[in-house]
Amino acid sequence: MTEISALGEFGLIKRLTQDIKTTNNATLYGVGDDCAVLHYPDSEVLVTTDMLMEGVHFDLTYIDMYHLGFKSAQVNISDVFAMNGTPRQLIVSLALSKRFKVEDLEEFYAGLRAACEQWKVDIVGGDTTSSYTGLAVSITCIGEAPRSEIVYRNGAKDTDLICVSGDLGAAYMGLQLLEREKTVYYQQVDEAKKKNDQLALQQLKAFQPDFAGKEYLLQRQLRPEARGDIIKRLREANIKPTAMMDISDGLSSELLHICDQSNCGCRVFEKNIPIDYQTAVMAEEMNMNVTTCAMNGGEDYELLFTVPIGDHAKIEKMEGVKLIGHITKPEFGKQLVARDGSEFEITAQGWNPLQAK
Amino acid sequence: MTEISALGEFGLIKRLTQDIKTTNNATLYGVGDDCAVLHYPDSEVLVTTDMLMEGVHFDLTYIDMYHLGFKSAQVNISDVFAMNGTPRQLIVSLALSKRFKVEDLEEFYAGLRAACEQWKVDIVGGDTTSSYTGLAVSITCIGEAPRSEIVYRNGAKDTDLICVSGDLGAAYMGLQLLEREKTVYYQQVDEAKKKNDQLALQQLKAFQPDFAGKEYLLQRQLRPEARGDIIKRLREANIKPTAMMDISDGLSSELLHICDQSNCGCRVFEKNIPIDYQTAVMAEEMNMNVTTCAMNGGEDYELLFTVPIGDHAKIEKMEGVKLIGHITKPEFGKQLVARDGSEFEITAQGWNPLQAK
């Protein structure tokens, strides 16, 4: 493994960025000057940013550097899709403590680049610096959309249909699974230490967490994909959502954002919330309510959007999209209708990193 | 003081951003959705980013939250000026440990906004999250320039004149001064503790560092200003630099960047390097070579640029700009000509946060 100090700041940046080619017409100049230079004469520029801190947003005992890079890019790209835009460029800043080696960074960049290649996004710059503790990642993604196509959170209207892509709660259950296996591992280590069982300690180095039959949950937690495919499908079907956002903090939290900003209420039906079989099984095992997981578990990066009721027929047959309820007048509040017909006020218990500690 | 958890993530963002008004025509939509929306039909978009980590880039025993916000914005705005652009928008991400209160963040934002107001830059978004240790700041600044006006680092030509704005080394001497006073303070505390002198310890709470006659050095370290005034002057004089960058890592390091990217050499004259009187006095006191401080001290945020020799008369009489040398063919190397006529190869000993630890 190569110490970063062996390359220095500029050597490191050179090594990480030397193979990066830019492919978008909108990218005039990428890495290597005070600024990147972008060209957007015919559409509006969309900009979003996210900061990920080790220990708060990710745990490197669960996720490797490749997947961290991949996920960091996807969650930012997801924000551009959530405006009905096309992602074009990405800028990445990293702050690293001494325990990270050049090869770790190369892994991170490999993941970042895999995600960017999937969506034809150019890496155009960033900053690489040091940190006293752990790893900090800050990503800015830039995209474009014609002004008339941009979808904000504030356009939902009474009677609009509420839709979500994919299924919900799986990323959260994936995190529970990873934490459970981590706990199991440390319990076994503790026990072996207590008994001073050197053989067991040796064997634990080859500890294999039990993920059998739960691969989908892991994939959803470690390798989320922005739903550009859904954006494409909506365009092909000639549907422009009235409001849209991506689900990063949990469905409940995002529904409240759309209702607050659109000044409306909503009625969402529990029975319609899309949940994968593995999510349901895992919730059962963990003695958790699967609907609560789907409503409040974060990091799904699915799209939540509303469409006019006139698009009902089109949206109903769209693959990968589920109709979960409808928008109401604000005085009807934000309601979850349970399977038995009882109603609950939706409150945000979303994943909140500011309360995580 | 208000705990951040009392407001929650969304409450905090609301409190920090509620008074922010956007004033640029290029800002269509700011804080509050998945992305900010910007409008740049007639010029290219410039994007730059910087990450600042507590303990590496700043020490909160020296700098208060207001000045940290101010400086964070200025150093990013400086990168847009360094492309000969006009800064327009800024996005800020913060990761905070528990010791930070709402009022600390308000101070940071007040400084950030003061810098943005100075340059008519809109704050259009960001991310606020938590950190296990200390404070991390990531800022992205967006600006614009007509394509024909953009100045890269790679356009310097043989015989071009090399210019710098302002004076150099003062920010670095300001940092030495702050560190010296911090050392003096802790020495006195240690001594008082050793003697168990409770009165002295009590009095040390009112310790006043000795900054008399060195206010300029402090200002340069704690309250740098991007040189938009120089950019304006150059435009008014109808001068377009052939290459330009801002001096963040030290003059030596930046000269090497321009020479490498422009494939040329340079001859810089020690006697021409602009140094303030306070910088010289402080270097003398600290037993440091003042030219070394000016060449290798970081954080000046002055502009380093080259102009065609035909602009000699115009540039010579420009206020706040000093001619320090000229560009040569690459085979002549990168030379510093000392006062006695001897020549030294310029090497980068620049301020490198990756080697700071």
For the segment A200-236, what is each residue's pLDDT rounded down to a tens digit?
Answer: 888 888 888 888 889 999 999 999 999 999 999 999 9
Whether residue A122 lies within 8 A of chain B, CB to CB, comes out as: no
Portion of chain A with pLDDT greater than 90, in percent = 78
Give strand ranges (E) for chain B: 27-29, 36-38, 44-53, 86-96, 122-130, 136-145, 161-165, 243-247, 265-269, 302-307, 321-328, 334-337, 343-345
Burial class (CB in 10 A: 0-12, 13-18, 19+), B199: exposed
Whether residue A9 lies within 8 A of chain B, CB to CB, comes out as: yes
Q: Is the pLDDT of residue A354 over 50?
A: no
Query: What pLDDT was estimated at residue B132?
Result: 86
CA dihedral sign, ordered B270, B271, B275, B277: positive
Residues in Cβ contact with A215 at an 8 Å cutoff, skipping those fewer than 6 apart = none
Query: What pLDDT was estimated at residue B91?
Result: 96
The number of beta carbons lying within 10 Å of the beta carbon of residue B66 is: 19
Contact residues on chain B for A53, CB-CB shorter than 8 A = 95, 129-132, 136
pLDDT band at A7 (very low <50, low <70, confident <90, very high): confident
> In this predicted model, what pLDDT tens digit does every residue of A264-318 receive, in sequence order?
999 999 999 999 999 999 999 999 999 999 999 989 999 999 999 999 999 999 9
Q: What is the dihedral of CA B301, B306, B311, B316, to 10 degrees?
A: 50
Query: What pLDDT was estimated at residue A209?
Result: 83
CA distance A38 to A33: 13
Q: Is the pLDDT of residue B354 over 60?
A: no
CA distance B26 to B139: 19
Q: Is the pLDDT of residue A352 over 60?
A: no
In terms of DSSP bridges, do strands B243-247 and B136-145 run parallel, antiparallel, or are they unpaired? unpaired
* pTM for the structure as a whole: 0.93
Q: Is the pLDDT of residue B21 over 50?
A: yes
Residues in Cβ contact with B214 at an 8 Å cutoff, skipping those fewer than 6 apart = B174, B177, B278, B281, B282
In terms of DSSP bridges, do strands B265-269 and B334-337 run parallel, antiparallel, or are they unpaired? parallel
The number of beta carbons lying within 10 Å of the beta carbon of residue A149 is: 15
Whether residue A133 lies within 8 A of chain B, CB to CB, comes out as: yes
Annotated binding-site residues of A for substrate read 57, 299, 351
The number of beta carbons lying within 10 Å of the beta carbon of residue B273 is: 20
Q: A96 by DSSP, 3-state: which?
A: strand
Single-letter code of the amino acid located at B112: L
To test the contact with chain A by mutation, choose from B4, B27, B33 the residue with the greatest count of A C-beta atoms within 10 A, namely B33
Joined tokens for residue A181 = 């296996």
Contact residues on chain B for A125, CB-CB shorter than 8 A = 47-49
Distance of CA B214 to the CA centre of its chain: 19
Query: Please, what is the angle between helix B170-194 and helix B277-285, to 10°?
Result: 40
Kindly state the helix (H) or strand (E) to which residue A184 belongs, with its residue range. helix A170-194
Which segments of B155-212 does DSSP mark as H helices, in order?
170-194, 198-204
CA distance B316 to B295: 21
The number of beta carbons lying within 10 Å of the beta carbon of residue B256 is: 19
To test the contact with chain B by mutation, choose from A34, A56, A79, A144 the residue with the greatest count of B C-beta atoms within 10 A, namely A34
Query: Please, what is the angle between helix A170-194 and helix A215-222, to 10°?
Result: 100
**Beta-bridge partner residues of A302:** A247
CA distance B255 to B266: 8
Q: Please name the residues between 11 and 30 in chain A that touch chain B, using a CB distance below 8 Å.
A: 12, 28-29
Residues in Cβ contact with B205 at an 8 Å cutoff, skipping those fewer than 6 apart = none
Query: Which structural domains are found in chain B, ordered by start?
Result: 4-145 (3.30.1330.10), 151-356 (3.90.650.10)
Half-sphere exposure of A251 (CA within 13 A, CB side): 35
Subunit contact B130:A44, Cβ cutoff 8 A: no
Q: Which of A115-129, B185-199, B300-314, B343-357 has the highest mean pLDDT?
A: B300-314
CA distance B71 to B55: 16
B135 close to B273: Cβ distance less than 8 angstroms: no
Whether residue B80 lies within 8 A of chain A, CB to CB, comes out as: yes
Contact residues on chain B for A50, CB-CB shorter than 8 A = 93, 127
pLDDT band at B349 (very low <50, low <70, confident <90, very high): low
Portion of chain A with pLDDT greater than 70, in percent = 97
∠ CA(B207), CA(B211), CA(B217), 5° rounding? Answer: 140
Residues in Cβ contact with B206 at an 8 Å cutoff, skipping those fewer than 6 apart = none
Residues in Cβ contact with A286 at an 8 Å cutoff, skipping those fewer than 6 apart = A173, A176, A180
> In this predicted model, what pLDDT tens digit does every residue of A102-138 receive, in sequence order?
999 999 999 999 999 999 999 999 888 889 889 999 9
Q: Please name the residues between 295 and 324 in chain A that touch chain B, using a CB distance below 8 Å.
A: none
CA dihedral sign, ordered A282, A287, A291, A292: negative
Residues in Cβ contact with B339 at an 8 Å cutoff, skipping those fewer than 6 apart = B270, B271
The owner of tokens 């020549």 is B343
pLDDT band at A357 (very low <50, low <70, confident <90, very high): very low
Counting every residue, how long is chain A? 357
Contact residues on chain B for A126, CB-CB shorter than 8 A = 49
